[in-house]
Amino acid sequence: MSSVAKARRIRRRWPVISASVGIAVALVLGSLIAVRESPLGVDERFMTELLEERAPWFDVPALFLDWIGGHLVGVVIVPVAMVLWLVALRRPWAAAFSVVAAAVSAGLVQLLKALFDRARPEFMLVATDEGSFPSGHVANAATIAVVLALVFGLERSRWWVWLAGLAYVVAMALARTYLGVHWVTDTIGGALLGAGVAVVLWAPIADRLAAEPRPRAPAAS
Q: Using pLDDT thresholds of 50, 70 and 90, give the confidence band for residue 7.
A: very low
The pLDDT assigned to 221 comes to: 45
Q: Using pLDDT thresholds of 50, 70 and 90, give the confidence band for residue 189.
A: very high
The pLDDT assigned to 18 comes to: 85
pLDDT higher than threshold 90 for residue 207: no
The pLDDT assigned to 220 comes to: 45
Average pLDDT over the chain, rounded to an integer: 86
pTM for this model (two decimals): 0.88
Find the range with the poorest average confidence among 3-17, 61-75, 113-127, 141-155.
Answer: 3-17
The long-range contacts involving 60-67, CB below 8 angstroms and separated by at least 24 positions, are: 61/171, 61/175, 62/125, 62/174, 62/175, 62/178, 62/179, 63/125, 63/126, 63/179, 65/137, 65/171, 65/172, 65/175, 65/176, 66/126, 66/137, 66/175, 66/176, 66/179, 66/181
Find the range with the poorest average confidence among 35-44, 75-84, 89-98, 190-199.
Answer: 35-44
30-53: average pLDDT: 86
The pLDDT assigned to 97 comes to: 95
Domain coordinates in residue numbering, the chain: 3-211
pLDDT higher than threshold 60 for residue 27: yes
106-135: average pLDDT: 89
Cα–Cα distance measured from residue 134 to residue 152, given in angstroms and rounded to the nearest whole number = 27
What share of the chain has pLDDT > 90, as a percent?
Answer: 48
Find the range with the poorest average confidence among 46-55, 176-185, 194-203.
Answer: 46-55
Residue burial 203-218, b: 16+ Cβ < 10 Å; e: rest: eeebeebeeeebeeee
- DSSP label at 40? -
92-120: average pLDDT: 93
The pLDDT assigned to 79 comes to: 87
CB distance 38 to 44 below 8 Å: no
What share of the chain has pLDDT > 70, as a percent?
Answer: 89
